[in-house]
Amino acid sequence: MRYDLTIEGCFVVDPLNHLKEYTSVSVKDGRVAAVGDAGKALQSVSLSGALLMPGIIDVHVHCSDWIGGPLSFGMLAKSGVTTAADMAGPVQVVLRQMKEQGSGINVAVMEALYPGKTVNGTDPSLDEIRGVVGKITREGALGLKLIGGHYPLTPEASAAAIRAANERRCYIAVHSGSARNGSNLKGALDSIEFSEGRPFHLAHINAYCRGMVEKDPKDELKTLLKALIDNPHVISEFHPAPLNGTNGKCVGGVPESHITRNCLRMGGYPETEKGLKTAFIDGYAHCVGEDMNGVNEYVSGEKALSYWRSQEGNAICGFPVNDREIAFLCATAKDPKGEYVIDALSSDGGGIPRNFMIRYGYLLVEWGAWSVDEYVMKTSVIPSRMLGLTNKGHLSVGADADITVFDPVSRKALLTVVGGKVVYAGGVQTGSGGTVLCLPEGRDAAEGMGLGIQVVDIEQSMLYAR
Ligand SMILES: [Zn+2]
């Protein structure tokens, strides 16, 4: 067989096929065609000493205009990500940006319930939420996101949202926080209570352990891990970034996002626009702006303030509120049976410049906290199961040819292949557009955008299959 592409010289790690050796991987027609047969190929790439794995699947990123922006797609491909789940939407904006500035990667969108935008107020009824869920899935979203940490709903509405998503059988992810408790340990425990045993994805476990409820964040994590063990219907992920990601928009002299207010309080600043400006000058608050190479970067000081001003406050901000020890403990925590408690590693990156799936994630392997197999499980295999992508997360013949190759020493991506096409190689983005991962009812909308489509059987997702 004449292959489209053969990648040679790499150390190939594919836990589902018990593969851990130097060999070649060949693809044809968008699928894995052979492992260990470096036959004739139209294109052949040799990357000796690199690590090759099933494509990295980042289950928590941001690509929308609210947070992330259109540079996100290129930033993800550059960091070795082949499939990403946007955790805010709106889906129509993400798909439009993907059409214009996509990098060829696969994207699923979970659209947020945003009071005043996607729902009328902070207490939408079950019927109103059912309507939203129907609308966004027809527009191409894979599911729903609650962003109660930033924009809280009432406890009743938060519970209704998890119920509505479960009824519709779409994906549901939650950034905890409601009118009762904010984005902290209590808010996270509330979410589990609101779920009434219905499955959902509890986003970024690390973010609820910042010492806002208990004095020691480690005690908070202990409590949350126990709740996760006791509630196996909750699936979860954590991210390793030191800075968080929030929006800096202020209304009436006060930051709109409750997370931005929390961060100011944690740094000892007033929870006001003035407090935010002082925090920029002091270097505590960071702002995200585009650098010379067309990717986003964090800036601080006067530069951050002037960028924030130029965006009329509607800019991504970051504060150093993520405890490093907590991130490490999230990676290594196991239940009494010896299984990892937190399912996956994510970045919470995308357009937020913290796409650390390889850069920090692989450090855990270097350090000895994870085996290389466990790293691939946490960054590809389990994320594929979370999203219900049975043809990803492994390199079996016939699997989707989504492949990540990186240098384990510099921890930088070298080659990103999606559906058999090279979308990033050696510093250059070569892909465009992308593929939307949607439910059957979203097919027409995604097709209408001129994007690729992969319909997901959500019943295969860990949410509903376990
Ligand atoms: Zn997020």
Q: For residue range 141-155, what is the model confidence (pLDDT) as tens digits? A: 999 999 998 899 999
User: Looking at the predicted structure, is the pLDDT value of residue 212 above 90?
Assistant: no
Tell me: do 284 and 253 sit in the same domain: yes
Helices 324-332 and 217-230 cross at an angle (nearest 10°) of 30
Q: Is residue 233 within 8 Å of residue 215, measured between CB atoms?
A: no
Q: How far apart are CA 283 and CA 409, in angstroms?
A: 31
CA 184 to each of CA 217, 220, 239: distance values in angstroms, whole numbers, following the listed order: 10, 9, 16
- What is the distance in A from the centroid of ligand 1 to the CA of 45? 35
pLDDT of 292 strictly over 90: no
For residue 99, what are the domain limits?
55-242+322-393+431-466
- Please identify, among 277, 297, 319, the residue that sits at the C-terminal boundary of a domain: 319
In Å, how far are 316, 373, 376, 396 from 16, measured between CA atoms? 38, 9, 10, 8
In the reported structure, the alpha carbon of residue 189 is separated from the centroid of ligand 1 by a whole-number distance in angstroms of 18
Please indicate, yes or no, if residue 410 is contained in any of the structural domains: no
CA of 203 to the centre of ligand 1 (A): 7
Establish if 291 belongs to a structural domain: yes
Instruction: Give the single-character DSSP code of 329.
Output: H
How confident is residue 6, by pLDDT bands cut at 50, 70 and 90?
A: very high
CATH number at residue 337: 3.20.20.140
> Are the C-beta atoms of residues 106 and 454 closer than 8 Å to each other?
yes
Kindly state the average pLDDT of the residues 263-288.
95
Mean pLDDT of the chain: 95
User: How far is the centre of ligand 1, averaged over its atoms, from the C-alpha of 201 (Å)?
Assistant: 12
State which residues have CB under 5 angstroms from ligand 1, the bound ion: 87, 348
Tell me how many domains the chain contains: 2
Residue spans of alpha helices (H) in 349-423: 363-367, 372-376, 382-387
pLDDT value for 294? 78
Dist. CA 60 → ligand 1 center (Å): 6
Residues 6+ apart with CB under 8 A from 309: none
The confidence score (pLDDT) of residue 397 equals 97
- Alpha carbon of 119 to ligand 1 centroid (Å): 20
Chain-centroid distance of CA 98 in Å reads 16
Largest CA distance in the chain: 66
- Identity of the residue numbered 196: E
Q: Is the pLDDT of residue 293 over 80?
A: no
Q: Do 275 and 217 share a structural domain?
A: no
> Do 307 and 375 sit in the same domain of this protein?
no
Cα(44) to ligand 1 centroid in Å equals 37
Least confident of 218-222, 297-301, 434-438: 297-301
